[in-house]
Amino acid sequence: MNNRNLLLKFIFVWVIQLSATALMAQNPGNSIPEKMNDWQNLQELAHASFGFAVCDVQTGEQIFKSEPQLSLVPASILKVVTTATALEVFGPDFRFQTALLYSGTIRHDTLFGDLQIKGGGDPTLGSKYFPASGNFLDDWKGVLARKGIKIISGNLNLDAGIYEKYSIPNTWIWEDVGNYYGAGASGISYRDNLYEIHLSSGKEEGSATKIERTVPEIPGLDLRNEVLSSNFNADQAYVFGSPMENRRVIRGTIPKNQADFIVKASVPDPAALLAHEFRKKLQANGISISGETVFDVGKTGIWNQLAINQSPPLSEIIRITNHESVNLFAEHLLKHLAFQKTGLGSTNEGCKTIIAFWKDKGLDMNGFFMNDGSGLSRFNCITASQMVGILNYMKIRSNYSDVFYKSLPTTGNGTLTLFSSVKFPNNCLHAKSGSMTRVRCYAGYLTTVTGRQLSFTIMLNNFSCSQSELTGKIEELLLELIKL
Task: Tell me if 8 is assigned to some domain.
Answer: no
Cβ atoms of residues 374 and 77 within 8 Å? no
pLDDT in the model for residue 296? 78
Task: Tell me if 16 is assigned to some domain.
Answer: no
Whether residue 321 is found in the same domain as residue 308? no
Closest CA to 141 of 311, 286, 348: 286
pLDDT in the model for residue 7? 40
Amino acid at 117: I
Rg (CA), the chain: 27
Whether residue 367 is found in the same domain as residue 470? yes
Tell me how many helices (H) and strands (E) the chain has.
12, 20
Q: How far is CA 140 from the centre of its chain?
A: 29
pLDDT in the model for residue 30? 66
- In three-state secondary structure terms, 239 is strand
What does the angle CA 442 – CA 372 – CA 268 come to, to the nearest 5 degrees?
Answer: 120
C-alpha to C-alpha distance for 65 and 364, rounded to whole angstroms: 17
Number of structural domains in the chain:
3
Whether residue 415 is found in the same domain as residue 341? yes
With a CB cutoff of 8 Å and minimum separation 6, the contacts of 466 are none
pLDDT in the model for residue 36? 79
C-alpha to C-alpha distance for 210 and 224, rounded to whole angstroms: 10
Whether residue 339 is found in the same domain as residue 405? yes
pLDDT in the model for residue 29? 57
Task: Tell me if 434 is assigned to some domain.
Answer: yes
Task: Tell me if 133 is assigned to some domain.
Answer: yes
Report the CATH number that the domain containing residue 123 is assigned in CATH: 3.50.80.20
Range(s) of the domain holding residue 150? 97-165+270-312
C-alpha to C-alpha distance for 292 and 49, rounded to whole angstroms: 55
Whether residue 82 is found in the same domain as residue 197? no
Q: Quick one: which H or E segment has residue 152?
A: strand 151-152
Which of residues 254, 283, 312 is at a domain's end? Answer: 312
Amino acid at 146: R
Task: Tell me if 59 is assigned to some domain.
Answer: yes
The Cβ of residue 219 has, within 10 Å, a number of other Cβ atoms equal to 15
Task: Tell me if 20 is assigned to some domain.
Answer: no
pTM score, two decimals? 0.92
Whether residue 153 is found in the same domain as residue 284? yes
pLDDT in the model for residue 54? 96
Task: Tell me if 303 is assigned to some domain.
Answer: yes
Report the DSSP beta bridge partners of residue 229: 254
Which of residues 235, 266, 297 is at a domain's end? Answer: 266
Task: Tell me if 22 is assigned to some domain.
Answer: no
With a CB cutoff of 8 Å and minimum separation 6, the contacts of 29 are 63, 64, 480, 483, 484
Average pLDDT by stretches of 10, the chain with 484 residues? 45 35 45 80 90 93 89 98 98 98 95 97 97 91 96 96 92 94 96 97 96 95 97 95 92 97 96 97 96 84 94 98 97 98 97 98 97 98 97 97 97 86 93 96 96 96 93 92 92
Q: How far is CA 368 from the centre of its chain?
A: 19
C-alpha to C-alpha distance for 459 and 253, rounded to whole angstroms: 32
pLDDT in the model for residue 298? 67
Whether residue 292 is found in the same domain as residue 186? no
Whether residue 183 is found in the same domain as residue 127? no
Cβ atoms of residues 166 and 186 within 8 Å? no
Cβ atoms of residues 131 and 89 within 8 Å? no
Which of residues 250, 266, 282 is at a domain's end? Answer: 266
Sheet holding 110-112, edge to edge: 105-107, 110-112, 151-152, 288-289
Whether residue 357 is found in the same domain as residue 439? yes
Whether residue 364 is found in the same domain as residue 454? yes
